[in-house]
Structure 1
Amino acid sequence: MKKLTKKMTGWVGSLAIAYLLSLIIGVFVIQPYRVDGHSMDPTLHDKQRLFVSKLSHTFSYYPDYGDIVIIDSRVERERRFIDDVLENPLIRLLTNETDDSFYIKRVIGKPGDDLEIRQGKVYRNGEALDEPYLNGAMSINESERWTVPENHIFVMGDNRNHSDDSRAIGFIPLDHVLGKKVL
């Protein structure tokens, strides 16, 4: 009986260490996500799975123009470390919780950038963006203008006519950029 107890304790300990390591990796290094919706068509498709590098979030550095990022769209609330832990898929698996506040978008503007939409085209600092990844032209007639504030970014979906992005939710605080698509 002692032998069986010792063996079971060893297994439980190994599983606990594996769970803890995968939780740490998911919070700080890399995490899987699933695309929910069509706002990134044709680049990413509904229900597609991808991996996101969490290093930009962990070390608080800006993604590059054109990077595809995961954002927390609840820009009006402050993020805390506990949010990163509770939003990990391993924790969500235990709680059976889902959340539709995480969006996958493309970085269009960084702090200090002047962005403008004119006749369905995006301009950054007066230069029209070359965006071959778009799912057709934007059907917008009026002009819109933004200046990206410090510690924020501006994001848009590739399917511009069907995307809730910075045009609707506002600028994304740097700590709300949860990671960058890698695979």
Structure 2
Amino acid sequence: MRGTITKICILSLFFYLRERKDRTKVESGEYTDEIRGGRVWDRRLISAGREAEKREKLKFEKKKNPRLIRQIIIWAAEIAGACAVAVLLVAFFGHRISNSGDAMTPSIRNGEVVLVDRLVIDMKELSRGQIVAFRPNGNKEVHFYIRRVAGLPGETVQIKEGKLYIDGEELKSYEYVSEIRDAGIAAEPVKLGADEYFLLGDNPQGGEDSRSSDIGIVKKDDLYGKVWFNTTSGDHFGIVKK
């Protein structure tokens, strides 16, 4: 009986001293008061675990960064490409010109704004009836003129009794103007060279065109482009028909 009591006293003293020791270490900062699974964990082990988690997170972020950089580069390239395409489209197909005068009435009225296709001039030959923008004699100091192609390179143009003749025959298919009162220089046959055009307005009395000696035959190099779109709101808005 005494032996049993002695053992109990010794165990009680052991646990008491152990508890005192743990409290002392907690107070000194050696142990943390975080309890996991019923045990007091070493703060240094917890700190090491947290550092390991941070390192893993940094590794994960480093792995993500190259993908992000590549994605940013792709986005930047796409934006730059879209801007380049937009600039080219505007440069070759979207140059705006304001029509001045009544020479192209009723097709294009005075003050209406049109878009010019500059690329078509170099890519293929113009056809009769197409509307073009040009500067007379290549003079860059004057406003753009807008007129319709009546005579093509190599043809002989003449205006007789208010009618358009090509190579000696009346061009009945040229329906853009019904009567040309003033033949101008085309009163006599006008032979066009390999790169020359004879241009007329739809309203011959409304302004000058190739009949006038001030404008005359228009060379291909003086053509700025083909008029293809009318941007003015109203019944004329849309693609300019041949």
Match among 143, 159, 174 for residue 117 of structure 1: 159
C-alpha separation in 2, matches of 1:29 and 1:50: 11
C-alpha separation in 1, matches of 2:228 and 2:164: 25
Q: Which deviates more, 147-156 or 59-68?
A: 59-68
Between the two proteins, the alignment pairs up a number of residues equal to: 145
Q: 3-state DSSP class of the match of 2:133?
A: strand
1:70 aligns with 2:133: yes
C-alpha separation in 2, matches of 1:115 and 1:26: 35
Shift of 1:22: 5.2
1:182 aligns with 2:201: no
C-alpha separation in 2, matches of 1:46 and 1:104: 11
Judge conservation of contact 2:101–2:206 (CA < 8 Å) in 1. no
Alignment TM-score, normalising by the size of structure 2:
0.53
Q: 3-state DSSP class of the match of 1:70?
A: strand
1:139 aligns with 2:185: no
CA spacing shift, 1:126–1:174, aligned 2, 3 Å: same
Structure with bigger helix share is 2
Judge conservation of contact 2:135–2:142 (CA < 8 Å) in 1. no
CA RMSD of aligned residues (A): 2.6
**What's the counterpart of residue 7 of structure 1?**
none
1:166 aligns with 2:210: yes
Judge conservation of contact 2:159–2:183 (CA < 8 Å) in 1. no
**What's the counterpart of residue 111 of structure 2?**
47
**What's the counterpart of residue 56 of structure 1?**
120
C-alpha separation in 1, matches of 2:158 and 2:142: 28
Identity over aligned pairs, percent:
26
C-alpha separation in 2, matches of 1:119 and 1:48: 32
**What's the counterpart of residue 192 of structure 2?**
148
Q: Which deviates more, 28-37 or 168-177?
A: 28-37
C-alpha separation in 2, matches of 1:21 and 1:141: 45
One-letter code of the match for 1:182?
A: W
Structure 1 runs not aligned, ≥5 long: 1-13, 78-82, 84-98
1:31 aligns with 2:74: no
**Cα deviation 1:85-109 (Å, max 9, x = unaligned):** xxxxxxxxxxxxxx64310000011
**Larger RCO: Structure 1 or Structure 2 (Cα < 8 Å, ≥ 6 residues apart)?**
1
Select the structure of larger CA radius of gyration: 2
Judge conservation of contact 2:97–2:144 (CA < 8 Å) in 1. no
Judge conservation of contact 1:156–1:163 (CA < 8 Å) in 2. no
C-alpha separation in 1, matches of 2:107 and 2:153: 25
Judge conservation of contact 1:120–1:137 (CA < 8 Å) in 2. yes
C-alpha separation in 2, matches of 1:141 and 1:155: 13
**What's the counterpart of residue 8 of structure 1?**
none
One-letter code of the match for 2:228?
A: V
**Cα deviation 1:65-102 (Å, max 9, x = unaligned):** 00001112134x6xxxxx7xxxxxxxxxxxxxxx6431
Shift of 1:25: 3.1
